[in-house]
Amino acid sequence: MGQVLGIFVSNGGVPKLAVESAEITLSGLLGDNQADKKHHGGEMKAVCVLENEILTKLQSEGHPIMPGTTGENLLVEGFNLGIGKIFTVGDSELEVVSAATPCKTIEGSFSDGYFNRISHKKYPGDTRWYCRVIRPGKVRIYA
């Protein structure tokens, strides 16, 4: 069974900062904003999700990536995500609709600035996922 390990928001840009809980609306997490609305946000990119399995894999490769540094809203574990996957986080239900294309704003999370290390095209599955919200609701970290 999957779980939420981290919830992250910002006024725009990275890193996103950890919060204990958030309300997920059809357009994303309340309190979160995107600096580049052309490429981020909107109903089909409402929530950005990173799997902890990918984060730890990248850390083991020597990348300085940390939770929230690649702009993800949720750090999750145990969901085995991919396009079309529907999953529940807290009271909310999400559907993975696309891979999140990496950009230079997250280069500090990678050795030698190689942000394409989380390009789904170059490294299938080693990516962040954009999700649409099927059912809005509250999500929180349980200790």
**Cβ contact 140:80 at 8 Å:** no
pLDDT digits (tens, 9 = 90+) for 33-84: 876 656 566 789 999 999 999 999 999 999 999 999 999 999 999 999 999 9
- Decide if pLDDT at 122 tops 60: yes
pLDDT level of residue 121 (50, 70, 90 thresholds): very high
Q: Is 31 left (phi over 0), alpha (psi -120 to 50) or beta?
A: left
| Domain assignment of residue 88, given as a range | 3-140
CATH number at residue 87: 2.40.33.20
**Tokens at residue 128, please?**
């962040």
Paired tokens of 50: 């990173």
- Burial of 143 from C-beta contacts in 10 A (0-12 / 13-18 / 19+): exposed
Return the DSSP state at 54: H
Q: How many domains does the chain have?
A: 1
Contact 23, 136 (CB under 8 A): yes
Q: 């981290």: which residue's tokens?
A: 6
